[in-house]
Structure 1
Amino acid sequence: MGVLKSPIVRQIRRRPLTAVIPVSFIILLYYLFFSSFSSKPKSKYSYKTKNGFFSKKHSLIPRNLPNDHISHYDLNRLASTPMAAYNKERILILTPMSRFYDEYWNNLLKLTYPKQLTELGFIVPRTADGDIALKKLEKAVKQVQSSKNKENRYTKITILRQDSDSLESQLEKDRHALSVQKLRRSNMALARNSLLFTTIGPYTSWVLWLDSDIVETPPTLVQDLVSHDKPIISSNCYQRYFDTEKKEMSIRPYDFNNWVESQEGLNIASNMAEDEIIVEGYSEIATYRPLMAHFYDPNGDINTEMALDGVGGSAVMVKADVHRDGAMFPSFPFYHLIETEGFAKMAKRLGYEVFGLPNYLVFHYNE
């Protein structure tokens, strides 16, 4: 006798997929639903925490930088502290450069602040001297950035060509003539603003303005200035020269744009037309302002601070938030001040204090 097969068994053997498909569908739904809660999915993006600035909550840093990536920055977490190197804060060193001095570049390379935390920015005028300076600068940059040792390379270097006018002659006697100061300082302000707005990033904590003719500073310049934890702080700019009477090398004050306002200065300003400016350091405009250059004490403490109302651009450290809040270099008469001195006035109008270090010297090139 043959064995009778039940209708159910016969149905399964004839159409096996009718049972397999529903079961597979249920398993697939279960996997898709619960796998989203089990672990973090793999992605082309990775989370990175550094210096308390980038965080899992606020920053998503792309590994391969796809064209459509989005980076988030929480500027409330960005700090400018007196322990900048320890906290790995990014420094932006900005230099308007009409001439290239080897002494400036060599001194820059000697600064001991970590280059991995340092960005450089330059702006070069479209003049004959500017063309020469650009070639020398590009050559120097290539040598540094091609170093096999990563610690000797800067994290980023930007070179701009100035799109505004500039004085053709950069001889000291020509660029410091009183008659050209308004035009010269206005052009310098435009160049500084272009350089600043192009290079400052959402990760920049400090901005050091360092003139291209500053050829000697302490190697710890950055650490020394940030250690004072001031919104704006300026070094005292002097110049080395050979004293023919004493037959020896000596020093003399050079930058007179670091000053404290005087009543005479205010009186002069009150009687000026709106488009006129006061330029410090010229006998034709006697403001009797106390000049930081005259407060240098060779036996004094280099950390001595002095409250200022005007600053020069020789070697000035600025907290990046001061610039972000709107303090820039006016290319127009701002309370009868312009460029760096106008910047100090604008910063003070925004509520920031300005300081100088009368006993902390940097040295200007001697033509």
Structure 2
Amino acid sequence: MQPAINKTQFFRQIRKKPLIVLGPLLIIAVIYYLFFSSSKQNSKYSYKVKKAGFFDRRPDVIPRNLPGDHISHYDLNKLASTPMAVYNKEKVLILTPVSRFYDDYWVNLLKLTYPRELLELGFIVPRTKDGDLALKKLEKAIKQVQTGKKENRFSKITILRQDTDSLSNQNEKQRHALKVQKDRRANMALARNSLLFSAIGPYTSWVLWLDSDIVESPPTLIQDLVSHDKPVISANCYQRYYDEENKKEAIRPYDFNNWVESEEGLKIAAQMSDDEIIVEGYSEIATYRALMAHFYDDKGDVNTEMELDGVGGAAVLVKADVHRDGAMFPSFPFYHLIETEGFAKMAKRLGYQVIGLPNYLVYHYNE
């Protein structure tokens, strides 16, 4: 049996061979730190991401990053789309397909009063001559805002170039001709889907589809639509023009894609082949649907609601979970509907309510 080492001998060994004595102690300390420290940190965070319904409480969807970790964690159970969106700091994504850039569109967009730090923008631009010009103007406008005062900057801006075919160099009359509607609307659907799937985030509560030729709307557009707390809600799209007969400014209906289905519309659809679509607003296809554009009452309550079966894309607010559940813009005949009208049909098939506001107006550019 070896005699015990006294203190003097112990310290002599440390001086002569420090690694023999201190090495095991250092290894034990490292193992203790790695094992117990990481387990304590991880116990604070939930890796479970689960889809659930809407909550009326303040959401906690801020990315939870571990120190030195590059993984962001989002709990979709706490992601809400509520009528108190500003108070709850709910993120809104504004999506706009851009074939032409209108200065009045951008000016109107900057007038929206929803907090900028809660707003993200997404654009998709076609690979056409008009698209190239629109992209240059859009980038210039964005640069002015995003390099300005911090409080005026948007949270995030995404620009995509369309990777599918698009109809180029068409004026308003050409692009609204009935014979081009199926191809035009199919291309628009593909563009909308690309933009949606690329720009939506796990923190997005609402998606506002706002056409690039909407040049006037109430500054409180987002808050007004949010306050109705509907899965899908559409404003009524009109157009300002000069009435030559009465020599004064006037307004007229523009978007006829917000409608209520009719018996005649169902009969027409029943007689169609699978690859045919019904396009609303054309005398060649008389569906006799109730068009929201014709229900505008200048003395009526702006909060008046009506149930819809089809929507346009002028100004439509969608709870993000409607899109997450699979409601997209069909580029193919879906119950003989396509693009935005097909989206409304898909949303309703998923059990969501689609609502229109006949007395709440936004205005389309007048060419």
Give the shorter-chain TM-score range: 0.7 to 0.9
Amino acid at match of 2:193: N
Amino acid at match of 2:347: A
Distance 1:244 1:172 in 2: 20
- The equivalent residue for 2:213 is 213
- The equivalent residue for 1:252 is 252
Distance 1:267 1:317 in 2: 30
Q: Cα distance 1:186–1:18, how it changes in 2: closer, same or farther (>3 A)?
A: same
Amino acid at match of 1:299: K
Is the 8 Å Cα contact of residues 61 and 203 (structure 2) preserved in structure 1?
A: no
How far has the Cα of 1:9 moved from its partner?
11
SS at match of 1:104: helix
Distance 1:277 1:88 in 2: 40
Q: Cα distance 1:293–1:35, how it changes in 2: closer, same or farther (>3 A)?
A: same
Distance 2:283 2:4 in 1: 114
Amino acid at match of 1:89: E
Question: Structure 2 stretches of 5 or more lacking a match?
Answer: 46-56
Establish whether residue 95 from structure 1 lines up as the match of residue 96 from structure 2. Answer: yes
Establish whether residue 139 from structure 1 lines up as the match of residue 146 from structure 2. Answer: no
- How big is each residue's C-alpha offset from its partner over 1:28-51, in whole Å with a ceiling of 9 and x where there is no partner? 7997799899999999xx99xx95
CA RMSD of aligned residues (A): 3.0
Q: TM-score w.r.t. structure 1 length?
A: 0.87
- How big is each residue's C-alpha offset from its partner over 1:260-288, in whole Å with a ceiling of 9 and x where there is no partner? 00000000000001100000000000000
Is the 8 Å Cα contact of residues 169 and 175 (structure 1) preserved in structure 2?
A: no
SS at match of 1:61: coil
Is the 8 Å Cα contact of residues 164 and 190 (structure 2) preserved in structure 1?
A: yes
Establish whether residue 341 from structure 1 lines up as the match of residue 341 from structure 2. Answer: yes
Q: TM-score w.r.t. structure 2 length?
A: 0.87
Is the 8 Å Cα contact of residues 129 and 169 (structure 2) preserved in structure 1?
A: no
Amino acid at match of 1:288: Y
- The equivalent residue for 2:79 is 78
- The equivalent residue for 2:224 is 224
Question: Structure 1 stretches of 5 or more lacking a match?
Answer: 1-7
How far has the Cα of 1:19 moved from its partner?
9.6
- How big is each residue's C-alpha offset from its partner over 1:285-336, in whole Å with a ceiling of 9 and x where there is no partner? 0000000000000000000010000000000000000000000000000000
- How big is each residue's C-alpha offset from its partner over 1:187-228, in whole Å with a ceiling of 9 and x where there is no partner? 000000000000000000000000000000000000000110
How far has the Cα of 1:52 moved from its partner?
3.0
Q: Cα distance 1:29–1:167, how it changes in 2: closer, same or farther (>3 A)?
A: closer
- How big is each residue's C-alpha offset from its partner over 1:10-63, in whole Å with a ceiling of 9 and x where there is no partner? 9654564469999979987997799899999999xx99xx953247xxx53267
Is the 8 Å Cα contact of residues 348 and 354 (structure 2) preserved in structure 1?
A: yes
Percent identity reads 72
User: 4+ residue stretches of structure 1 with deviation over 3 A?
Assistant: 8-43
